[in-house]
Structure 1
Amino acid sequence: MLHGKTPDIPEHVLRLAGIGPDKLRAEWSLPGFISMFLPEFPHRTVPGQEHFQVLGYIAKGSFGPILKVKDKTKQKTYAVKVIPKSEILRLGVLEQSKEEVIVQRQVCHPFVHDLQDCWQTQRHLYIMCDYCSTGDLYTYWQMVGQFAEDTVRVFAAELGCALGFLHDFGIIHRDVKMENILLTDNGHLRLADFGLSRRLERGGRAFTICGTIQYMAPEVLSGGPYNHTADWWSLGILLFSLVTGKFPVPPEPDHCGMLRKVRAFPYEMPLSFNPPFALLITELLCKTPARRLRTLDRFKRQTFFHGTTFDLALLQRQPVELHNHAAFLPLSCGDAFRRTSAGRSASSRHSDAVAPPRLEALLKGHVALQQ
């Protein structure tokens, strides 16, 4: 049973767990608080020190810490996100959190971030992903300012392959942005954070205004209907920004203001763009979804990719030159389970060597994790 202040959980959620309106105190020993997260999050205890070693603290996510852990048996390093169930229920994102796990378990692609495992204990959810030591693309972009078109060509091919795969699988990502793209040790990309993704078959339509505002397609900003085509717009914004060092339209504080700016902006390509790259971005940033570049096959045929392989095995061996920076902070996985966001994620990030005092129990052997 929880001691002290009771979490502010909506009554309808408590009823789902078997607690009526006359018993609003969250009694976490009740089976309902386990079953409501099943089957997506199997119930088990946290692996002990004989299996896992906590190496450090990576970041403060939207709902809890992200820890760097080592599997002693496999001798592999992972990132584990620790999420209090009370936060998931309080914010009403139970179905969203389960959907993310469902989606990630179904996909396996070299340019999509792998979900290794997930489970629940009495009070927490745990999501374990591959650990990418190099960090996220946004952090790197902030340091280097802008990328050469040759480097962006490889990035674009990898992200295009990832989006094409997801869309063919009936999944729309809805939050393609630099912060949700991780870099491997050899400079290749992994599309991460499926917190806003959903299953959407070809021909399906969505209406939820969600994503990160400066990347959102006009049809998303207006409340739909929209489909997988919106992800290609986000890719266009991302590629434009990587090369120029700035977003074509700075973020506005609200969706209505952003929509007005996007509708009015001409999206003329800078003279510094080579014509093939300018053509690619122009087709991705077409405001009319039906005329937008929206399939991997059409993407591959762009002049910009002349001579570029889209074979996944060969693409992974393509050299990507990244500059080493001591200040580059490692990040393991995106801020999953975020609510609809009007801007860039504001989660704080720390080096592995820095751990807040309240996480001492986590870093000394899972004392708090076993609750």
Structure 2
Amino acid sequence: MIGQFSEDTVRVFAAELGCALGFLHDFGIIHRDVKMENILLTDNGHLRLADFGLSRRLEQGGRAFTICGTIQYMAPEVLSGGPYNHAADWWSLGILLFSLATGKFPVPPEPDHCSMLRKVRGFPYEMPLSFSPSLSLLLTELLCKNPSRRLRTLDRFKRQTFFHRTTFDFELLQRQPVEVILELRERPDRAAKARRGLTFSLQPLRGFDFDALLSPAAMPETQLDAEVHARTAAPLPGPALRPPRGKGPRREVFV
């Protein structure tokens, strides 16, 4: 097994991102590009979901059809051209959590959405034996290929056994710093990496397969809307938990 975050750290990140999605969906917004590059970090190592260049208003019960997003994170119903709804964001969250827990994507990317769809439909999404049963169950429910059966609400997300004794209260979640992120900030080479735009890169994590995870060659993005594509951020050279270098203004959602 290559480098990865501990399940305790993944639990904190999952709770914060789940709250962000629940907040957006309650206001009738689908993000459509939940991925590692669209996550910001606070000084204490907590997460903020950012970059709403592909988001749109979609009321509960509504349907969308535009194929957009980052191909490794796109739900099968998005890859197929819809219809899809807010459940697609929960699939993307499942892919992101899997990559944080293992250091790699569950399915290698394909060069186009049709090829990726065939692979996603045929892949069993088996959980590594190193996962705890509760984490395996959470990811299995998030990566359910049938969106009507997928874990797709914050209430159901909170009830997962993986979050036993975990608070979803914003103030309490933010109170305890994420130690692994603070340790990265204190490394002697942090200043040099900051000048190169790699301040929060996960590259210092020993054994983390950053080339396979987020190298430019492994990050094809599929956009059918030319105007939307112009606002889509370019891939980053490493698995940095920081905002992409897009052209438009960036907004944060504080959960």
What TM-score bracket applies, with the shorter chain setting the length? Answer: 0.7 to 0.9
Distance 2:120 2:228 in 1: 23
Change (3 A) 1:297 1:312: same
Q: Which residue of 2 aligns with 1:291?
A: 149
The answer (yes or no) to whether the contact 1:211–1:340 under 8 Å persists in 2 is no
Which residue of the partner structure matches residue 179 of structure 1?
Answer: 37
User: How far is 1:251 from its partner?
Assistant: 1.0
Specify every segment of 5 or more residues in structure 1 that has no aligned partner in the other structure, as ranges: 1-143, 332-336, 350-371
Residue 272 of structure 1: which of 130, 133, 136 is its match?
Answer: 130
Is 1:209 aligned with 2:98? no
Q: For the aligned residues, what is the CA RMSD?
A: 2.2
Distance verdict in 2 for CA 1:347–1:242, change over 3 Å: closer
Segments of structure 2 that go 5 or more residues without pairing to the other structure are 201-225, 239-255
Q: Deviations over 1:130-152 (max 9, x none)?
A: xxxxxxxxxxxxxx942011001
Q: What TM-score do the two structures reach when normalised by structure 2?
A: 0.74
Amino acid at match of 1:225: P
Match of 1:194 among 52, 60, 79: 52
Structure 1 SS opposite 2:148: helix
Write the deviation string for residues 36-92 of structure 1: whole angstroms up to 9, x where unpaired.
xxxxxxxxxxxxxxxxxxxxxxxxxxxxxxxxxxxxxxxxxxxxxxxxxxxxxxxxx
CA distance in 2 between partners of 1:222 and 1:238 (Å): 20
Task: Give distance in 2, aligned partners of 1:150 and 1:338.
Answer: 40
Aligned length: 200
Q: 1:220 is matched with which residue? A: 78
State the secondary structure of the residue aligned to 1:273.
coil
1:168 deviates by 0.4
Contact 2:66 2:81 in 1 (8 A): yes
1:231 aligns with 2:89: yes
1:263 maps to which residue?
121
Once the two structures are TM-superposed, the CA of residue 225 in structure 1 deviates from its matched residue by: 0.1
Separation in 2, partners of 1:193, 1:151: 23
Q: Which of structures 1 and 2 has the bigger CA Rg?
A: 1
Cα distance between partner residues in 2 of 1:348 and 1:240: 20
- Hey, what's the Cα distance between the residues in 1 that align with 2:151 and 2:35? 18
**How many angstroms does 1:330 deviate by?**
4.2
Structure 1 counterpart of 2:234: 345
The structure whose residues are more often strand, as a share, is 1
Give me the TM-score of the superposition, normalised by structure 1. Answer: 0.51
In structure 1, distance between residues paired with 2:173 and 2:143 = 25
- Secondary structure of the structure 2 residue equivalent to 1:299: helix
Pick aligned residue for 2:12 from 130, 134, 154: 154
Equivalent position amino acid for 1:201 in 2? E
Shift of 1:319: 2.9
Q: What code does the residue aligned with 2:88 have?
A: A
In the alignment, residue 254 of structure 1 is paired with which amino acid?
D
Higher RCO structure (Cα 8 Å, ≥6 apart): 2
1:306 equivalenced with 2:164 (yes/no): yes
Aligned pairs (5 A) from 1:26-65: none
Q: Structure 2 CA distance, aligned partners of 1:249 and 1:347? A: 19
Matches within 5 A, 1:312-323: 312-321=170-179, 322=181, 323=183
Superposed, which structure 2 residues align to 1:20-169 within 5 Å?
145-169=3-27
* Contact preservation (8 Å) 1:164, 1:296: yes
Q: Kindly, what percent of the aligned residue pairs are identical? A: 81
Query: Are the aligned partners of 1:293 and 1:299 in contact in 2 as well (CA < 8 Å)?
Result: yes
Q: Is the 8 A contact 2:75 2:88 kept in 1?
A: yes
Query: Deviation of residue 348 (structure 1)?
Result: 7.7
Give 1:249 deviation, angstroms: 0.5
1:257 partner amino acid: S
Contact 2:37 2:236 in 1 (8 A): no
- Contact 1:196–1:338 (CA<8 Å) still a contact in 2? no
How far did 1:320 drift? Answer: 1.1
Counterpart-to-counterpart distance in 2, 1:344 and 1:275: 36
1:14-25 matches, cutoff 5 A: none
Partners in 2 of 1:222 and 1:190 — Cα distance? 29
